[in-house]
Amino acid sequence: MNIMANGAHLPETPREFGFFVDGAWHAGQDWFERTSPSHDVPVTRVPRCTKEDLDTAVAAARRAFEDRSWAGLPGAERAAILLRTAEGLRRRRDEIARWEVLENGKPLTQARGEIDHCIACFEVAAGAARLMRGDSFNNLGDNLLGLLLREPIGVVGLITPWNFPFLILCERVPFILASGCTLVVKPAEVTSATTLILADILTEAGLPPGVYNVVTGSGRTIGQALAEHPDVDMLSFTGSTGVGRSCVHASADSNLKKLGLELGGKNPIIVFADANLHDAADAVAFGISFNTGQCCVSSSRLIVERSVAREFESILTAKMKKIRVGDPFDPETQIGAITTDAQNRTILGYIAQGKEEGATLLCGGEALDLGRGQFIQPTLFSDVTPSMGIAREEIFGPVLSSFHFDTPEEAIAIANDTVYGLAASLWTRDLDKALTVTRRVRAGRFWVNTIMAGGPETPIGGFKQSGWGRESGLLGVEEYTQVKSVHIETGGRTHWIAS
């Protein structure tokens, strides 16, 4: 038996899952075996579902929607099931965190923190289920009353990524359920375990059959088929901008389904000379290293005022060299493994490209050999120019590019010089400067003197090529609804055709 740091045990044989449709587990005919990216041992086996399996899942979700077993419930009853789910997550927190670590490679301490956020998502969504409302128009004259009804959009397809398998799932699912929709989930092939575990927890909480269905398999087969499916009313996708474009085409070529897209980012973190430089440096190091930089909102472009740039880069380099990379079950570990072989090669390729293009390497820049698994040092490049690949393309790894500026206008221009607009961070003691820059940088999430802060009460989403729509909070429930205008006339009708 493999015993890791903190007494954690690796599975002697992979845990085998089925797929979940219409309230029941189903066995697969073919299997995908996942190997831990940190430990190089097989940890899970999930079915490679077929398009026929997907059709069955969509049909189950459609039946559950049309029979009103979920949409027809009062918001208070939906809220009660969401709250019981939150309690189920609390009870199984350690189990869920362990499988996140084994499949994804992230540190255990981080995984546990993410599940706490997931619990909060279900609790906030429970409140939103009771608060969702329409509107009325009492200004149409004495004989006409206007109503706006919010109705669930129907069957939702949900495609989630491998970098935050459970967190992104739970930033969507409870709000989709709060709206009254049913759903079919397609998790990333390499990180399906916790999405399947949620099926058990929801069922125990009293969710009716067919409301939550999970079909596992590759993006090219099951994901594409879900995006194209004519009986799916809305698709929520989190992943790359390139695949997001394919979802747009699939929607256009099928039934013009509504899309919610959270896509790529090349997020700026702006540091002014008047900031607390040590606080800012710690935030920058965290912002590029959290989840090994495999994070849509990671701060991958440092934009620092020239008068303090070299001093700040020196402070930052010293901090980044102290970041602990290693076994994710070790409570001291801050950065775990790179999740997939392909992503590991991509990150190392960008590091090599940065060196070739003439950027100055201040720290990191190499893979780490820890005896097993795949790990990369946190990496900082300075003297980066806007034309370099590391400056413009989403690396999705712990690689930070540093730019220098002289005026706030120049900092804003550099921050906005990207096709993306997902998130941004700003560090300054000057309130006027903070408000000016915050209002002019184009990003869906903005942090001032903090980084990656906030909870599920506030919406998330991007500008420009970072996506469409918003998730979480009341807006995250409304995203999965459609508005119906109703007019009710009182009194007799004035006849169009004279008697």
Mean pLDDT of 274-293: 98
In the chain, where the domains are located: 5-263+466-484, 267-448
> What pLDDT sits at residue 72?
98
> What pLDDT sits at residue 8?
74
Helices (H), 357-407: 389-392
Q: What percent of the chain has pLDDT over 90?
A: 97
Own/partner pairs, 147-150, CB within 8 angstroms, 24+ separation? 147/485, 147/486, 147/487, 147/488, 148/483, 148/484, 148/485, 148/486, 149/483, 149/484, 149/486, 150/478, 150/481, 150/482, 150/483, 150/484
Domain 267-448 has CATH 3.60.20.10: no
pLDDT tens by residue, 116-172: 999 999 999 999 999 999 999 999 999 999 999 999 999 999 999 999 999 999 999
Q: Is 77 annotated in the active site? A: no
Q: What percent of the chain has pLDDT over 70?
A: 99
Whole-angstrom Cα distance, residue 482 to residue 152?
A: 6
State the pLDDT confidence band at 9, using cuts at 50, 70 and 90.
Answer: confident
**Can you name the CATH fold of 5-263+466-484?**
Aldehyde Dehydrogenase; Chain A, domain 1 (3.40.605)
> What pLDDT sits at residue 3?
63
pLDDT of residue 1 exceeding 60: no
pLDDT tens by residue, 371-410: 999 999 999 999 999 999 999 999 999 999 999 999 999 9
> What pLDDT sits at residue 101?
98
> What pLDDT sits at residue 499?
82
Find the catalytic residue in 103, 189, 228, 262: 262
pLDDT of residue 5 exceeding 70: no
> What pLDDT sits at residue 152?
98
Quote the mean pLDDT of the chain: 97
> What pLDDT sits at residue 313?
98
Q: Determine contact, residues 107/335, Cβ cutoff 8 Å.
A: yes
Closest to 203 in 3D by CA, of 241, 177, 224, 240: 177
